[in-house]
Amino acid sequence: MNKSKRDKSIIDILIENGNDLNINYNGIVIPDKIPYWRGGNIHSQHDIEYATPEQKIFYFYFKSEFLKGKLVDIDNNVNYAIILHLDLLDEYETHYNLATLERQFRLLSKCCPQTEKYNQMSLKRLFNKKGVSQLSELFDLMQIFQEAEYLQTSRYSNHRSNDYKLGDIYGEELDLDEIEIEWLNKFWQPSNVFLSIDDCTTATVKQYLLVLWELDNVLKKTKSSIKKEERFLGKKLYKRTPDYFSDYGFSPDLESVPDLYLTVFKRVENSVRFSYEHKRKISDDFPSSELASLFESRIGKKVNVIIEKRKGKIKKPNHKTQIELNTLNNGRWKVEFAKIKTAYAPENIEDTIKKIALLEKVNQENPKVEQILFEASKLVAEHNNVLSLQYYIKYIYYDLSTKKSVKKPFTKKLQKILFKTEKQHSDFQAIIAKFNKDSNLEKALNAASKIYIVKRKKIVLNKSEIDDAKQKHDGTVELLNQYLEDDDKNKTVSNAENKEVSVTMKTNKESDSQFITGLQFNDVQKALLLLFVENSFLLEKEQIETLAVKNGLFKNQLIDSINEACFDFLDGEALIEEDDNNYVIEESFYTEILK
């Protein structure tokens, strides 16, 4: 929607007697700036604690305006609405007014349509809770569900209740049979950032059907089937349902257990996420705690085995999907770069160049794309100086387009590798300075390729002058030869002395620590470093927080103490760096501080 054409007036809401909401829709408030927050799994309203300061400020503004009856445009940053949904549920536990909650959810659905399914599901769960027994409240709820059903059937084409379920969406596209459509229509289409990508949903749907077919075959060997297991769980699940619900128009299907199918779907989705290197898992436990162990023993364990067995059938993501996944998960590139780094060999540099170019291409929409080029520059520096400089220039190119430019310089170690003379270094700095002004990438890359070319002056020789000089200085040449012989002898002695000193220094290394001489850590610091190693050099903030608090420290205090200890040994680079909701260690840095 074009923001310039939107009505910037506000939705006015009057609350009478704490229940009635009269909505006069005129438009939506459009803020000047909306901090990006579309990706990531939200499991609790407390997840707001892991948001950035800018996201927190905007969320509390968004919630405050919502409670005043004003809708704020969140521009598809769904996480703000999900947090608000959970906040409203939490506040319901204080006021216990389902009619008010329903009206709040109806308003939230207008603000963020992606939350509508969550809103309806939450209301139905509350309706099914044992504590809901007052007849007046029951009548209110039945009216709510009738309205919700009307909205659901009238919103989509053909007035069918399944129009927004996966079976009807993919039935024709994937040429599905009736059983497969039924399996997909057992639950409302899940909504999250991963499944917002069409190819991710298609891959999950295909794998889900493959798993269910094999599950049905496995169950038939024990004279059971998916349908029989569903009936068995249904009778267990609804055995305590109050009979009077049916008197007021609500009658649960005792043979229908949507959560059975949704749980399988979520486990398949997690398998597809892992295959697509989107490592953020969703919760895939069976929702009913009373039946969870029963589900696992009869179905869940079998499903897990089949998913593991059939993971090779998942189709790899195409180029377009790779771009979308990298936009959702800014750190996803690290997995592929680690593979490039492991396979890197100087004699096969062309293959490395192709892989890095492809990785750069599928991260064009990723705000962290510049980090790929910075790491690439470090990777090839020792064996290809020109390529390293060109990668660094591209790093600057992407960094210039970010809102918060960082421009990391070369470490002293890399400078020594890349520049043999001070002139080479100063020439490269001049190229960067000019590039910062004109942003001409092609020109800067071309200039970098010529830094190492030796510029020679053309000399014209006069043969007669050479002969005259030779006769005059025959004695001088003989004297110089004697000096050179003496110098060679002195160098031999000097090299022998240096070798002896080097051996002596080597034998004086400390042997009681795995870290280089002069670098010492206390027990808590060592424990944190060991935890990084055991978790492939990536830890969540909560893991570090737990370790720090256990030892009477603050998280940042512990991390800063390690970085300060390593400062001089890593040429001023930080060993532990923050990356979204995680902390990471660059493996090559860690190797540098080992003996």
pLDDT tens for 372-425 read: 999 999 999 989 999 999 999 999 998 887 767 777 888 888 888 899 888 889
- With beta carbons less than 8 A apart as the criterion, state whether 211 and 268 touch: yes
| pTM for this prediction | 0.51
**Predicted pLDDT of residue 481:** 63
29 strand-pairing partners: 72
**Predicted pLDDT of residue 2:** 39
For residue 69, which of 31, 115, 110, 118 has the smallest C-alpha distance?
110
- With beta carbons less than 8 A apart as the criterion, state whether 572 and 563 touch: no
Provide CB contacts within 8 A for 467, sequence distance 6+.
none
Q: Which of 245-254, 267-276, 298-307, 501-510 has the lowest mean pLDDT?
A: 501-510
Question: What sign results for the dihedral spanned by CA atoms 255, 256, 261, 262?
Answer: negative
The two structure tokens encoding residue 85: 């949904």
- With beta carbons less than 8 A apart as the criterion, state whether 185 and 166 touch: yes
The two structure tokens encoding residue 366: 């990723």
Task: Tell me the fold of 523-592.
Answer: Arc Repressor Mutant, subunit A (1.10.10)
User: What is the DSSP code string of 423-470?
Assistant: HHHHHHHHHHHHHHHH--HHHHHHHHTTTTS---------HHHHHHHH
Per-residue model confidence as pLDDT tens digits over 210-265: 999 999 999 999 999 999 999 888 888 766 444 433 443 444 455 678 889 999 99
**Predicted pLDDT of residue 226:** 94
Q: How confident is the model at residue 529 (pLDDT cuts 50, 70, 90)?
A: very high
Q: How confident is the model at residue 504 (pLDDT cuts 50, 70, 90)?
A: very low
**Predicted pLDDT of residue 127:** 66
Whether 497 has a pLDDT exceeding 60, the answer reads no
Whether 586 has a pLDDT exceeding 60, the answer reads yes
- With beta carbons less than 8 A apart as the criterion, state whether 265 and 186 touch: no
